[in-house]
Homo-oligomer: A and B are copies of this chain.
Amino acid sequence: MPLVLTALPGFPLVQPGANLPELIWGALLQADVDLQNGDILVIAQKIISKAEGRIVHLSQVEPSKEACELATSCEKDPRLVEWVLRESHSVLRIRPGTIIVEHRLGFVCANAGIDHSNVSPPPGGSGQLDPEGWLLLLPVDPDASAAAIRRDLEECSGKRLGVLIIDSHGRAWRLGTVGTTIGLSGLPGLVDLRGEPDLFNYKLRITQVGVADELAGFPYPMREAALGELLRPRDQDLFR
């Protein structure tokens, strides 16, 4: 059976406090998409963050000494660096334009996933603040956000669904961003093929597939899962 990826056209701009499951359900109806058991909704982190009001302003923090020092190395606004540090466990690498951190959510990414683009001032949040100074932080708990959206949409549809929240991440060694899972509910993050026989009865020894990170690998049987299973444990990590 083919895997079909369908975009939802005309999705509205999302404001803080928006009821996302309601907006998604409306867009599904509008697009005449009839959800089936096993369907997976892939949602951009940005609209989750917006709905959850994760919009902050550069002027809302006082940069620490560490932030000021890092800001010099990476040639960024010290207040932005302060926000990056507040969203991170540790700094892995730094160079002009980029800080690679371990995000407080456990994954490694650039600039703590803080976004400048497609961010408009929150309603009533403009005032005298520099309109260019608004930032969008990642959701507080993307696994929980995914679970909540899934629950509501399963209730609307009466179907068993999966929800993936993805962000665009850069990668070591390769150019170009790729969609990367930062939260999930109802579908596996990894599928473990270890121990399965290959075509010639040779036992597969390594193959765990990062299915949530490569939707092209679907469909796989649905099950409970969370982001944690996709994160490489520190003691197995060669690149820190």
Asked whether A176 lies within 8 Å of B239 as measured between CB atoms, the reply is no
Q: How far, in whole Å, are A5 and B215 apart by their CA atoms in the complex? A: 10
Say yes or no for A230: interface residue by CB 8 A criterion: yes
Chain B residue at smallest Cβ distance from A218: B5
Asked whether A175 lies within 8 Å of B229 as measured between CB atoms, the reply is yes
Say yes or no for A28: interface residue by CB 8 A criterion: no
Say yes or no for A127: interface residue by CB 8 A criterion: no
Most chain B CB atoms below 10 A, which of A176, A199, A231: A176
CB distance from A13 to the nearest CB of B (A): 7
Say yes or no for A128: interface residue by CB 8 A criterion: no
Bitwise, A181-202 to B at CB < 8 A (1) or not (0) is 0000000011000000011101
User: With A5-B5, A6-B2, A216-B216 in contact, is A178–B238 under 8 Å at CB?
Assistant: no
Asked whether B174 lies within 8 Å of A213 as measured between CB atoms, the reply is yes
Which one, A18-26, A72-80, A81-89, A111-119, is touching chain B? A111-119
Q: How many residues of A contact B (CB 8 A)?
A: 56
Asked whether A176 lies within 8 Å of B210 as measured between CB atoms, the reply is yes
Q: How far, in whole Å, are A159 and B171 apart by their CA atoms in the complex? A: 34
Asked whether B116 lies within 8 Å of A202 as measured between CB atoms, the reply is yes
CB distance from A214 to the nearest CB of B (A): 4
Chain B residue at smallest Cβ distance from A132: B202
Q: How far, in whole Å, are A200 and B116 apart by their CA atoms in the complex? A: 11
Name 5 A/B residue pairs within 8 A (Cβ), A-sorted: A108-B173, A172-B173, A176-B212, A177-B207, A177-B209
Instruction: For the complex of A and B, list the 9 residue pairs with the smallest distance between their C-beta atoms, beginning with the closest.
Output: A176-B210, A3-B5, A172-B172, A172-B239, A2-B6, A108-B173, A117-B198, A178-B214, A93-B238
